[in-house]
Structure 1
Amino acid sequence: MKKMFNYYSDKYLASWIIKFLDLIVVFVGFVLASLLRFNFEVAGMSLSKLLEQSLITCAVYLVIFSLSKTSDLVMRHTSFTDIHGIFKAVVFSLAILIGMDVFLYEGMDYTGVFLIPKSILIIQALLVMLGISGYRLAAKSIYATFLNSSSALKSNVLIVGADVSSLMTKSTLLNSSKHSIRVIGHVDNHPKLQGKKLDGSPVFQLDNVINSSFLKEKGIDEIIISDATLGPAQKRAVIDSALQYNIKVREVPPHEKWVNGELTENQIKPVRIEDLLGRSEIKLDSINIQNELQGKTVLVTGGAGSIGSEIVRQALFFKPKKVIALDQGETPCYELGNTLKKLPEDIAAKCEIVIADITHFRRMQQIFSKYKPDLVFHAAAYKHVPLMENNASEAVETNVFGTKNIADLALRYKVQKFVMVSTDKAINPTNVMGASKRVAEIYVQALNSQQNSTHYIVTRFGNVLGSNGSVIPLFQKQIEKGGPITITHKDITRYFMTISEACNLVLEAGSIGNGGEIFVFDMGESVKILDLAKKMIQLSGLQEGKDIDIEFVGLRPGEKLYEELLAVEENTLSTHHPKIMRAQIQPVVSDEVKVLMDRLHEKVLHGDDEGVVGGLKQLVPEYISKNSVYSRLDKKSSQAYA
């Protein structure tokens, strides 16, 4: 039997056979409807008339079924969409037959064989609908039964969710030929569903599942998260509970992402590490942001990067006059253009991509003169710590003097607001990258204190999930290659935030800022990178030490164990947004900043990396190099590099 099933599992019924079976149902349905109509009194019925009328209905149904292509399907995978298509075809056939009745009887006073009682037609339609749907679903069920019985090994699956989407998920899993599964039950916290059964499977309470040894007792092999309303905290709890017992976790995409309203098993993907780090969705003051952006020209530097491109995308939905995405990278700009094509045409048309380098002052001046931006979001910067440690002059040229170019032009062309995207590495910096960003902050603050026409605002946040060069894509590539996963230190921690969340807060901070502020974002709890790596290994279905190893390679140049959100001398003030704080900072002496910046620029022009770092240390006294060739400079007087 098993061999026969395996042989026929790759065979499919031809469309003409399915069509023939449908016509048998139509014929039998008419006969049964006639018998019901006449209370099974066969003696009073004309068999020849019965045959002729049944053939008439078969002809109508055949035409409609052919036009609607109800037989062009794989019966073992019959879906709700297929049943809905059958229903529409049956209703349309019934409408035509009743229409013929009305036309012949009332219009032509006809009483011959083509006149069929409406009650028979209605009963027949009901029987046809039940019959065709029934035999197709029965075939599907029989196939699923044989599929499961043909494999000795079955995976015990628990579905998180007890709604229509969850039922469709169950159907998709049971009908897949890839795996043999047993659905142990559904999980939901709705009190009215407790103790009930959903499509034959019991419904368990979510809290009981994640707070007990339930998963182990039931022998769960896999959890499928199908509930789109499940909050981030609940999702993390489910995933964490599953990882305790090395249970695989996959997630069903939102219904709008299903292909033609149908879910396939290929769409059910493993959960991502981001799901364990993400937080509750941010509630934006959309009205305030729209008032800030509507009808205005917005310039986004670094507009094709991870942060910049998301700012561009989000800004486009707040009805700006135009968004200028400025970036020096040809390939990222090309990719941004392709991404924008997926947006509604009227929205995408408001974005213009410009390739330019922020360190080229004349080119920037041309752009400001041409577009005359009202708002500037400055996200262009070098951010890779070890690379910048080895290329100090280039880091400062872009991060400091590129920022200076944009900030100066914002003032000259009367930009309303200049919002700088900074980093938590600017706080008590231990590397060139962080120090260069802190100097950029200082210059922007100094510029704000000198005038009142342009409002300069700084935003600080930590690592962004999924951004170019971040740790998660790196770990993922290492896992795909079989390891090892490389970590600099067992105790290293970092703050994480999603790209969308970071850009939401940048836009919000820009709308509430009045100039001179440094806004610090609530980054939540810091994450131990070692724990992050271990969870990524588990989510990949692997075991640390058995399938893949973790290696500690030592801190990189300029890297520190812990990032900070505030300097020692800084405190925070709350804002109207719970995730945005305002840092209380020491006032900046503008004249002193200008002198030191001029000296620093001379060092940059000469490519004097050591002199550049010495200049940074003058501007940022708290800058103490770590794991760096520049650590020796901290033992000397910074005056030596003046």
Structure 2
Amino acid sequence: MKYRLPANWRSMAVFAFDLLAVVLAWVGGFLLRMDFQVSADYLQLMGQGLLLLLPVQGVIFRASGLYRGIWAFASLPDLLRILRAVGFSVLAVALGAVLFYPSPLVPRSMLLLYPLLLAGIMAGGRVAYRIFKEHRDFGALRAVGKPVLVLGVGREAANLVQELTRSREWYVVGILDDDPRKRHREVCGVKVLGALEEIGEWASVLRTRHAIIAMPGANRAEHRRVANLCIRAGIRVFTLPPIGQLIHGHDTVSQMRRLNVEDLLGREPVSIDTPEVRQMLKGRVAMVTGAGGSIGAELCRQIARFQPAQIVAFEQSEYALYALTENFADVFPEVDLVAVAGDIKDRRRVSEIMERYAPAVVFHAAAYKHVPLMEERNAWQAIRNNVLGSWIVARAASAVRVERFVLVSTDKAVNPTNVMGASKRLAEMICQYMQQQSPATRFEMVRFGNVLGSTGSVIPKFQAQIERGGPVTVTHPEITRYFMAIDEAAQLVLEAASMGAGGEVFVLDMGEPVRVLDLARDMIRLSGYGDDEISIVFSGLRPGEKLYEEVLADCELTRPTHHPKLRVARSALPPDFDLNALLHWIQSGRTLSDDQVRRDLRRWVPEYQPYNPPRPVLVSESIKLEA
């Protein structure tokens, strides 16, 4: 029968080593003190002292918790425990010398020599074992895997480099940082080579196409700068989450992720938890129309953070409603989500739901939003859904005296050149009119531009084209758009809803406009393709599309709010606005052609100027990515 070691044999072995260290430190201290010329009297004192010291030290070592750690992972906490145990040992030696008063006396220098030797042997043994263990287990991996540059020098970067030395996937070839004081120094044996701007040169010299941004404490602007340096150099980039999102206790490598489009936009994160938003939502019923869409679903998730009594999710798409309920069952099981299937143009259904659940606040996000799709063959449906649907929901909310009604609008409602934008401007006018007629309900409107990753946005389209190997289609080389993260947009909508007094049009700070061509180039490089692998094709502006979007109409003024990313536009309701005539036009029972819709819209939206660019007749122009 094979003999098995006891389960705690490692702890017993370490304990034996520490007792051996006591012997070596005690004997070594005497030898050093006596210049290796020890008399018979002192040899007897050494032996008697060990007989008393070993059991006392054994008790101290056990009580100090020295055997909880694992030698292979010996670190600063283990050293602190050793120093604590050695400190008690000095007291034990001093107390023993006073109580027993041996002859000859224990030399006073032993109170210094003994603890120094003891701490050195105990700590040195542990460190030596860790070095041996890591060299045996990971020494062969130090040049295995894909070469990678680490960007940044800090605690997280040091942890990352240390963990990557044990990885079979990565091999750290160097570190870059802008601090000149750290140049030519080493982090965990890896040299700091130069500045971040030199990444292209070092990537070429070291023959690597991978980099990891290990700067979780940097602000978004700095993070964006570094990300763009990598992208321009044709480097595949990974990054660590912001410092507040790093999960303590998890290894740093597991928290790495691929760089995404949001990182390149460099927008500062938005965090809202104001008393006003909490007071508006906590313990109350909130209703979201279009709850299965990108914005509607995110609004539901953000509302759930504020502990509402109930969320009424109103959605026409059965699948989108199902997906939302499944998501809430996993992420927010404690939230009472009422999934309601219905069409906002169904007057009876909308009124029934409003009366049954009596929401305190309604977020109206249901709309047809895709500009080219609504411009041709669907213009009349865009008017009926976006205008008539908004009127039905707003009137039902007013009838049950909803406290706040928030219309999710768009920057395309400013000086609209397409049917979708004009329809959303009409929806704003209806809310402004309702504010005059129903002061008990605060009607508020929030305008913003494109949200990243939303249904129908350009980002998923580019991603699909890149996955197919290209080409990537851009309508025009100079077209620009405003972009923001979907969670940022939803949070700002809640913030605007909480501060409105009624009738305001809130405008979100969209930052700087982004050239879509640059976005396409960055996404291609983010996907790891080189300059000559995927081309970009110009397809021409689509019906109703303009080169740039405006945030405010020419005649509008804005004033700031207490939130830096929210402003209020003074968008007035036209004095000749006739709601009855507008409803008569929409509910006439006829189906108008696209041209008829565009013709009649000029009557209701004075600033509407249809723009139909000519169909592109020249051969699509392909370009290669610029270095």
In 1, Cα distance between equivalents of 2:6 and 2:132: 16
The answer (yes or no) to whether the contact 2:161–2:188 under 8 Å persists in 1 is no
The 5-angstrom pairing of residues 393-404 of structure 1 reads 393-404=380-391
Aligned-partner Cα distance in 2 for 1:479–1:488: 16
Give a deviation string over 1:92-151, Cα, whole Å, max 9, x none: xx9xxx9xxxxxxxxxxxxxxxxxxxxx99999996776456424433245444323468
Q: Does 1:555 align with 2:541?
A: yes
The code of the aligned residue for 1:32 comes to A
2:151 aligns to what?
A: 159
Q: Is the 8 A contact 1:445 1:588 kept in 2?
A: no
Aligned-residue RMSD, C-alpha: 4.5
Summarize the Cα distance change of 1:124–1:469 in structure 2 as closer, same or farther, 3 Å threshold: farther
Aligned-pair CA distance for 1:403:
0.9
Where do 1:432-443 residues align within 5 Å?
Answer: 432-443=419-430
Cα distance, 1:391–1:288 mapped onto 2, change above 3 Å: same
Q: Which amino acid aligns with 1:481?
A: R
Contact 1:160–1:223 (CA<8 Å) still a contact in 2? no
Output the amino acid matched with 1:157: L
Give distance in 2, aligned partners of 1:355 and 1:242: 47
| Matched length | 572
SS at match of 1:602: coil
**Cα 1:188–1:499 shift into 2, 3 Å:** farther
Cα deviation code 1:447-499 (max 9, x no counterpart): 22223211211111110112122111221222222222111222211111111
Q: Which position in structure 2 is the counterpart of 1:117?
A: none
Match of 1:333 in 2: 321
Question: 1:534 matched to which residue of 2?
Answer: 521
Distance, in Å, in 1 between the alignment partners of 2:179 and 2:282 is 42
SS, match of residue 514 in structure 1:
coil
Residue 45 to residue 267, structure 1, CA distance change in 2 (3 Å): same
| SS of the residue 1:476 aligns to | helix
CA distance in 2, matches of 1:183, 1:236: 21
Q: Distance in 2 between matches of 1:138 and 1:18?
A: 23
- 1:58-88 CA-partner distances (Å, limit 9, x unpaired): xx99xx98xx8969xxx7xx6xxx8699899
- Structure 2 distance, partners of 1:352, 1:327, is 11
Q: Following TM superposition, by how much is the alpha carbon of 1:158 offset from its aligned partner in structure 2, in angstroms? A: 2.8
The question of whether the paired residues in 2 share the 8 Å contact of 1:600 and 1:616 is answered with no
Instruction: Find the counterpart in structure 2 of residue 465 from structure 1.
Output: 452
Q: 1:277 aligned to 2:265?
A: yes
TM-score, normalised relative to structure 2: 0.77
> What are the superposed Cα offsets for residues 208-245 of structure 1, whole Å, 9 maximum, x if unpaired?
53499875797584432222221111011111222332
For residues 379-433 of structure 1, give each alpha carbon's deviation from its aligned partner in whole angstroms, at most 9, with x where no partner exists: 1111112222232233222211111111001111111221101011122223222
**Deviation of the 1:445 alpha carbon:** 1.4
Question: Residue 160 of structure 2 corresponds to which residue in structure 1?
Answer: 169
Helix, strand or coil: the match of 1:155? Answer: strand
- Structure 2 counterpart of 1:297, one-letter code: V
Q: 3-state SS of the aligned residue for 2:19?
A: helix
- Tell me how far apart the structure 2 counterparts of residues 510 and 149 of structure 1 sit (CA, whole Å): 56
**2:149 partner letter:** V
Query: What are the superposed Cα offsets for residues 587-636 of structure 1, whole Å, 9 maximum, x if unpaired?
Result: 334762321221122256x4755544444343224333334899xxxxxx
- Distance, in Å, in 1 between the alignment partners of 2:601 and 2:284 is 36
- The residue aligned with 2:111 is none
Between stretches 569-578 and 481-490, larger displacement belongs to 569-578
Tell me how far apart the structure 2 counterparts of residues 122 and 398 of structure 1 sit (CA, whole Å): 82
Partner of 2:500: 513
What is residue 241 of structure 1 aligned with on the other side? 229
Deviation at 1:167, TM superposition (A): 1.6
1:158-557 → structure 2 map (5 Å cutoff): 158-162=150-154, 164-186=155-177, 198-201=187-190, 209-210=196-197, 221=208, 222-254=210-242, 261-263=249-251, 265=253, 267-282=255-270, 284=272, 286-343=274-331, 348-389=334-375, 390-544=377-531, 546-557=532-543
Contact 1:596 1:618 in 2 (8 A): no
Counterpart Cα distance in 2 of 1:283 and 1:258:
17
Q: Is the 8 A contact 1:447 1:590 kept in 2?
A: no
C-alpha change, 1:83 and 1:354, in structure 2 (3 Å) is farther
Moved more, 22-31 or 285-294: 22-31
Cα deviation, 1:559-581, whole Å, max 9, x if unaligned, reads 22221212233333333333222
User: Equivalent residue of 1:437, what SS?
Assistant: helix
Amino acid at match of 1:622: E
For residue 513 of structure 1, report the CA deviation from its aligned partner.
1.7
CA distance in 1, matches of 2:142, 2:289: 56
Deviation at 1:251, TM superposition (A): 0.4
The AA in structure 1 aligned to 2:147 is S
| 3-state SS of 2:174 partner | strand
Residues 258 and 177 from structure 1, CA distance in 2 versus in 1: closer, same or farther, beyond 3 angstroms? farther
Matches of 1:247 and 1:311, distance apart in 2: 36
Gaps of 5+ in 1: 1-14, 99-119, 631-642
**Partner AA of 1:466 in structure 2:** G
Residues of 2 paired with 1:173 and 1:435: CA distance? Answer: 55
What is the CA–CA distance in structure 2 between the aligned matches of 1:481 and 1:623, rounded to whole Å?
38
Secondary structure, aligned partner of 2:578: helix
Stretch moving more, 547-556 or 16-25: 16-25
Question: Contact 2:147/2:173 (CA < 8 Å) preserved in 1?
Answer: yes
Matched residues in 2 for 1:181 and 1:372: separation? 60
1:609-624 equivalent positions in 2, closer than 5 A: 610-624=595-609
Match of 1:103 in 2: none
Classify the secondary structure of the residue corresponding to 1:275.
Answer: helix
For the residues of structure 1 that align with 2:244 and 2:156, how far apart are their CA atoms? 11
Matched AA of 1:173? L
Aligned to 2:132: 138
TM-superposed deviation, 1:176: 0.9
SS at match of 1:406: helix
Cα–Cα, structure 1 residues 243 and 255, in superposed 2: closer, same or farther, change >3 Å? closer
Which amino acid is the alignment partner of residue 155 of structure 1?
P
Q: Return the alpha-carbon distance in structure 1 between the equivalents of residues 505 and 183 of structure 2.
A: 50
Alpha-carbon shift at residue 178 of structure 1 (Å) = 1.3
- Which range moved further: 260-269 or 551-560? 260-269
Structure 1 residue 254 displacement after superposition? 5.0
Tell me whether 1:147 sits opposite 2:145 in the alignment: no
Query: CA 1:257–1:455 in structure 2 vs 1: closer, same or farther (change >3 Å)?
Result: closer
CA distance in 2, matches of 1:277, 1:388: 28
Structure 1 residues 84, 392: CA separation in 2 closer, same or farther (over 3 Å shift)?
A: farther
Superposition pairs for residues 554-633 of structure 1, below 5 Å?
Answer: 554-589=540-575, 592-603=578-589, 606=591, 610-627=595-612
Aligned residue for 1:112?
none
Counterpart Cα distance in 2 of 1:304 and 1:150: 47
Residue type of the alignment partner of 2:574: V
- Match in the other structure for 2:621: none
- Distance of 2:455 and 2:128 partners within structure 1: 53
Cα distance between partner residues in 2 of 1:294 and 1:560: 41
Shift of 1:557: 2.5
Q: Displacement, 1:268?
A: 1.8
How has the CA–CA distance of structure 1 residues 34 and 216 changed in structure 2, closer, same or farther, with 3 Å as cutoff?
A: closer
